[in-house]
Every structure is written in structure tokens, then in C-alpha cells.
A and B are shown apart, each in its own frame.
Chain A
Amino acid sequence: KNEVEQSPQNLTAQEGEFITINCSYSVGISALHWLQQHPGGGIVSLFMLSSGKKKHGRLIATINIQEKHSSLHITASHPRDSAVYICAVRSPSRNNDMRFGAGTRLTVKP
């Protein structure tokens, strides 16, 4: 079993819909990152969380340390949000190595 599990694997939405992507992890962490990977492009860091909630534009990230769970929400989704969203954790028990989820592929249709 992977230490970082994301759901769903694939997600198709209509423009304007509210999107939720989930991330569960099984190790103790010092930080959780949400990343965005566009087709054919590199990877961009969206958020780094160690507790609570962060918001940037239409993106909101939350984390529940006790439940070992994080969510990434996109409000008023747009076709340009189509990308792979990756959850990653840093674990002190693993020398602060990052462990990555397999990603959620989001497609937003106009």
C-alpha cells in the first residue's frame, strides 16, 4: 500500500463546478504539499500545509492532521484548471524525504 493515496484517480467536471481532490497518508508528516502538473509541462507547487487551511484565488487546501487527510478544492472550475494534481508529504521518519501520491487527473470541459 502506498504511503500517500489520492482519490479519485481521474475526474471530469463541467466548467463552473466545485472540485474536491482527496489525499490520505499513513505516516507522520512535517508538511504536506499540493502540486500541479500540466500536460507536457513541469510541476508547480500550489500549497504547503502543516495545519489548517490555505486559500489562493479559487484554490483552497485543507489538512486534518489527526485524520491524516488533506483536500484540495477548486471553486468555479475552468478548462485551464485541467491538469494532474499531486499530493506529497515530508516525513521526519524518512529523513524528511518527500513521498508522492500517484496524482489525480482533472479534466474540466467547457
Chain B
Amino acid sequence: NAGVTQTPKFQVLKTGQSMTLQCAQDMNHEYMSWYRQDPGMGLRLIHYSVGAGITDQGEVPNGYNVSRSTTEDFPLRLLSAAPSQTSVYFCASSWTGATNEKLFFGSGTQLSVL
């Protein structure tokens, strides 16, 4: 099994450009989420989804959009990139998002916005 696959691994953008970070899982997980990781800070939740067609905001949603058209895919869109969005991004999934469930993480995307 591939688990959680994130692409790209690295990306450099100019301020104002748009891009989509891809996340796919092959474990039939209902719950998927996006986090950003900044130096000296813990991971912070951006958006999450509890199933196809259902998304909600996390702790730091501004500047990001998501959609969930299938169980497998949960892309994260930056519509107009800003230097403050320079970060490492992780996608994660679990069966239902219940508190006793293990999270499976992707390998991360390092994004720089100039």
C-alpha cells in the first residue's frame, strides 16, 4: 500500500501565484486533514474533511481552500500565495477521525513563497 501520498515534495512560488498541493490516500480513510509546520511551532491544522463532500476549517484556514470530491483525494489550494505561507505542509488521514485513531501522515511539501 502507498499510504498517504503528497506531491510535490518541494515548490517555490512568487507572491500572488496560485498552486495546488495534492494529497491522496489508498486506505479508504474517511478523515483527511492538512497541517502546516513552522520553525519553533507545533503543527497547526488548516482544513479537514470527514468524508467526500464535507470539509471544515481548522485553526489557520485563511488563504487556503480545500475540496473533497472523492474519498481518496484532498487537495489544498493556495489562491494567491503570500510569503507568510512559506512552511512545510503535511497531509494526514485516519479511518474516521475518532480520538483513539492513529493518524497516517504524508511525507510533506516544503513550500517557499518569495
Q: Which residues of A contact B (CB under 8 A)?
A: 2, 4, 30-31, 33, 35, 41-45, 48, 50, 86, 88, 90, 92, 96-103
Q: Which residues of B lie under 8 Å from residue A97 when comparing CB positions?
A: 45, 58-59
Q: Which residues of B lie under 8 Å from residue A101 when comparing CB positions?
A: 42
Q: Which residues of A lie under 8 Å from residue B41 when comparing CB positions?
A: 102
- 6 pairs across A/B with beta carbons < 8 Å? A2-B42, A35-B103, A42-B106, A50-B100, A88-B43, A97-B45
Answer yes or no: B74 CB below 8 A from chain A CBs.
Answer: no
Besides A48-B100, A98-B45, 10 more A-B contacts (Cβ < 8 Å) are A4-B42, A30-B100, A31-B100, A35-B103, A42-B106, A42-B108, A43-B105, A43-B108, A86-B43, A88-B42
B107 nearest CB neighbor, chain A only: A42
Question: In the complex where A42-B105, A43-B105 touch, is A102 in contact with B90 (Cβ < 8 A)?
Answer: no
Q: Could you count the A-B residue pairs with CB atoms below 8 Å apart for me: how many are there?
A: 55
* Contact indicator B42/A100 (Cβ below 8 Å): yes
Question: In the complex where A43-B105, A86-B43 touch, is A96 in contact with B58 (Cβ < 8 A)?
Answer: no
Question: In the complex where A96-B97, A97-B58, A102-B40 touch, is A45 in contact with B102 (Cβ < 8 A)?
Answer: yes
Instruction: Give me the 4 closest cross-chain CB pairs, A-B, nearest first.
Output: A100-B42, A42-B107, A30-B99, A43-B105
- Measured CB to CB, the closest approach of chain B to A59, in angstroms, equals 15
Size range of the interface on B?
A: 20 to 34
The B contact surface, by secondary structure, is: loop
Answer yes or no: B44 CB below 8 A from chain A CBs.
Answer: yes
Report how far A100 CA is from B44 CA in the complex, Å. Answer: 7
A97 nearest CB neighbor, chain B only: B45
A101 nearest CB neighbor, chain B only: B42
Answer yes or no: B64 CB below 8 A from chain A CBs.
Answer: no
Answer yes or no: B95 CB below 8 A from chain A CBs.
Answer: no
* Contact indicator B90/A42 (Cβ below 8 Å): yes
One digit per residue, 1 when the CB lies within 8 angstroms of any chain A CB and 0 when it does not, for chain B 73-114 equals 000000000000000001010000101111111111000000
Q: Which residues of A lie under 8 Å from residue B101 when comparing CB positions?
A: 48
Q: Which residues of A lie under 8 Å from residue B42 when comparing CB positions?
A: 2, 4, 86, 88, 99-103
